Amino acid sequence: MKKFANLDGIENTHTFKDLLRWQRERRSNKKDLTRQIQQSTEKEPERLKENRSKHSITWIGHSTFLLQMGGLNILTDPVWATKMGLQKRLTSPGLSAGQLPEIDLVLISHGHYDHLDFNSIKQLKGKISFYVPAGLKGLFRKKGYQTVTEANWWEEFVDRGVKITFVPAQHWTRRSAFDMNTSHWGGWVIQDLKTGESLYFAGDTGYFRGFLEIGERLKPDTVLMPIGAYEPEWFMKVSHINPEDAVKAFLETGASLFIPMHYGAYRLADDTGPEALERLEKEWEKLSLDEARLKVLPLGETLWKEPVS
């Protein structure tokens, strides 16, 4: 069975002993889980259902976004699960699956359960085409989904006026005891071929040299970048990017706008959503970056994008 790998042979090689060390540290490193990131007070589900012309970005939570580009409704890593393992979801999704318009495309970054949840996918409406990393098509077929396209890194597809490119990430995947890295992982760059507007959904990743190449080859305008699940960093660094490195990665892509994600929904690590956001904003200020290039979306809020001139 084929196994997939990161660039430069980077591996997630933590042992059971490392896991026990992390659990000991967690018991002594108590965090305030009563303070969480905010829901938007300006949700627009009806406008989203009616829209088929304007470019919009709606953060639903974690790595789930509704993207409206090229007249299509595109969903990334759709997950509405109320639990992840034994941990309850910390914040409610910004919109329910029932509040969404009919979906045209679903883009999956990798097979971890917080990014690929078939119970959530079942709730979606529409005649959906699924784009998934290499190695996942068989699982989708077993679940009854037939319109499924697999992708290897740098493969691109044109679908109804948008170009979709699967790009590298630094991560790993597993859904059972026997399928470690038998499917791939990555991000997606989506480009509206009519307007030229381009968006990079980074998926789940540690910091790696690929960000620079993605920027040079595909020149995204907007980056949806993870900032959470990085603590303890000695354990998480290979697979999860911290806020400071997320800013570095964003700058390497050459994009104009940074939208953070992958924080505040599940307790996958020891950092909290507010902590991740505070570190991001502190780094932004430290580097004297233009405030207009950072857009922090409350849960359920929509950013309506102007066409690229």
pLDDT of residue 309: 44
Domain presence at residue 192: yes
pLDDT exceeds cutoff 90 at 278: yes
Q: Is 67 helix (H, G, I), strand (E, B) or coil?
A: strand
Count of domains for the chain: 1
CATH code where residue 132 lies: 3.60.15.10
Rg (CA), the chain: 18
Whether 6 is covered by a domain: the verdict is: no
> Residue 222 has what pLDDT?
98
Residue 35 lies in a domain: no
Distance CA 168, CA 184 (A): 9
Cis amide prior to 133 (ω within 30 degrees): no
pLDDT, one tens digit per residue, over 158-190 is: 999 999 999 999 999 999 989 999 999 999 999
pTM of the model: 0.96
- Cβ neighbours around 209 below 10 Å, total: 12
Position 213 pLDDT exceeds 90: yes
- Under the banding of pLDDT at 50, 70 and 90, the label for residue 95 is very high
161 assigned to some structural domain: yes
Instruction: Tell whether the model's pLDDT for residue 283 goes beyond 60.
Output: yes
**Within a domain: residue 19?**
no
Q: Mean pLDDT in the chain?
A: 96
How many CA atoms are closer than 13 Å to the CA of 99, on its beta-carbon side?
Answer: 16
Nearest to 183 by CA among 247, 287, 108, 121: 108
Residue 286 lies in a domain: yes
Residue 100's domain comprises 44-305
